[in-house]
Structure 1
Amino acid sequence: MAELYLVRHGQASFGADNYDQLSLLGQQQGQLVGEYFAGRNIAFDHVLIGTMNRHRQTVEAIFDGSNDVAKPTEHRGLNEYDFVALFDGLGDEHHELKLLAKESKKDFYKALRQVLLLWMEDRIEGPIPETWSQFQQRVADARSYIQGLKGRILAVSSGGVMAAIAQQTLGAPREAVIPLNLQINNCSFCRYFFNADSFHLATFNSIPYFDKADRQNFITYG
């Protein structure tokens, strides 16, 4: 059986003009992941990332921590959905949701939960980059690509993709993506075992490298 470590990117720049950049804490999170892999002699035969800055920056931080060097392969199926575009696509009847998303970080996630459900139900009337079905298909394509590889694979992606892969693997209803997505920690990993015919989830949202009293500040979600 081949093995996949699917890692969420480190903390990004929530509230900044460009979210798609790791914060200093996000870089440190990635380095701790790399140290964890190095300390357990976990090496990878393939490294995959999405095309987003935070994915590349995270894998670079992991390599800094592990003293590893590899050239990652990009796959757009590992890219996050465009949550800004989903909010922008809301009509006037959902004006309050747009306002809620601009309040606190907690309020943003309350609004996001509702927007994701609207997206799944094809109820966002404005222009958006992709439908829910298209998102699901490109995530499935990424999983199929991974399933064609052998050995041990590291893939760096985002919370929505990780939740969708777990939902697809478990055969859970589409609505399960929302609570799965919103609980995934930065730089956590999901571990899968697979071959050409099967794909099995072994662990979900693991953060063993942050499980220390002096590292509680590394447990983040954005």
Structure 2
Amino acid sequence: MSRIYLVRHGQASFGSDSYDRLSPLGERQSVLLGQHLRRIGFHAETWLSGSLARQRSTLTALLQGMEAASATDFHEGFNEYDHEAILGAYLPRVMADRGLTPQELSPLLGDNRLFQAVFVQVMRHWIEGTPHERPPFETWKAFQARIHASLERLARSGQERIVVVSSGGPISLAVQAALDLSLEKTLALNWSIYNASVTELRVRQGALALAGFNNVTHLQLAGEEGLLTYR
């Protein structure tokens, strides 16, 4: 039986010029996970990440915490959807629908609750394939197919334990595949996944089964305020 451990990247730099890099807190979260895995004697045959900077940096910091050699293996199949392209295509439409002006964009980014509500609407347009005037980018169906194909590749590898650093979207789709969840519940999962959390899947007779979800024991045991984040 194979086990696949999906780690969400540490906190990224939301609201900055470049989201795709770990914040200092994100680095700390990732190191703490590695230290915890070292303490419990965890081992795996394969350590890999998506190719995004925040994913690769998380894996580097995790292995640093384990006092293990750095891993250079990455697989673009576990990359997150391009949220910047999706926002660029649909955010103006959603803001207009909500009666928000372009001048209200900066306050929107600073209000987590309001931004979440707007982003859910943006995602709906993407999932439904609403036409837009921006250059083409990955569709929802293509994103789903990519994640499922990447998981199947790991499931067929025959390796006992595989650790993959990815993002909330791919992890949500992995859980959907294991539990046959509705789209509504899959989206709800996406918003609930902690940074640097661990989700465990087991492969039985070629099928995925969920063995653990959104585990942040390593952050809770650290006893440091503010370690639990979603973005």
Q: Normalized against structure 2, the TM-score is what?
A: 0.89
Structure 2 CA distance for aligned equivalents of residues 13 and 176 of structure 1: 27
Structure 2 CA distance for aligned equivalents of residues 67 and 89 of structure 1: 43
Structure 2 CA distance for aligned equivalents of residues 213 and 32 of structure 1: 8
Does the aligned pair in 1 maintain the 2:64–2:70 contact within 8 Å? no
Unaligned 5+ runs, structure 1: none
Which residue, 193, 196, 201 being the options, matches 1:184? 193
Opposite residue 86 of structure 2, the aligned amino acid is L
Structure 2 CA distance for aligned equivalents of residues 84 and 91 of structure 1: 10
Does the aligned pair in 2 maintain the 1:91–1:126 contact within 8 Å? no
Which residue, 139, 154, 157 being the options, matches 1:146? 154
Structure 2 CA distance for aligned equivalents of residues 36 and 200 of structure 1: 24
1:155 and 2:157 correspond = no
**How far did residue 103 of structure 1 move?**
4.5
Which residue, 121, 140, 143 being the options, matches 1:135? 143
Unaligned 5+ runs, structure 2: none
Give per-residue Cα distances to partners, 1:62-89, cap 9 Å, x unaligned.
Answer: 0111011143422111111111111111
Does the aligned pair in 1 maintain the 2:38–2:66 contact within 8 Å? yes
Opposite residue 45 of structure 1, the aligned amino acid is E
What is the count of residue pairs matched by the alignment? 222
Q: Normalized against structure 1, the TM-score is what?
A: 0.93
**How far did residue 53 of structure 1 move?**
0.4
Equivalent in the alignment of 1:200: 209
Structure 2 CA distance for aligned equivalents of residues 196 and 49 of structure 1: 25
Structure 1 CA distance for aligned equivalents of residues 212 and 34 of structure 2: 18
Opposite residue 34 of structure 1, the aligned amino acid is G
1:6 and 2:15 correspond = no
Does the aligned pair in 1 maintain the 2:15–2:109 contact within 8 Å? no
3-state SS of paired residue (2:224): helix
Structure 1 CA distance for aligned equivalents of residues 46 and 4 of structure 2: 9
Opposite residue 11 of structure 1, the aligned amino acid is Q
Q: Within 5 Å, give how 1:109-120 maps onto structure 2.
A: 109-120=116-127
Does the aligned pair in 2 maintain the 1:45–1:151 contact within 8 Å? yes
Equivalent in the alignment of 2:114: 107
**How far did residue 123 of structure 1 move?**
1.7
Does the aligned pair in 2 maintain the 1:188–1:205 contact within 8 Å? yes
Opposite residue 168 of structure 1, the aligned amino acid is A
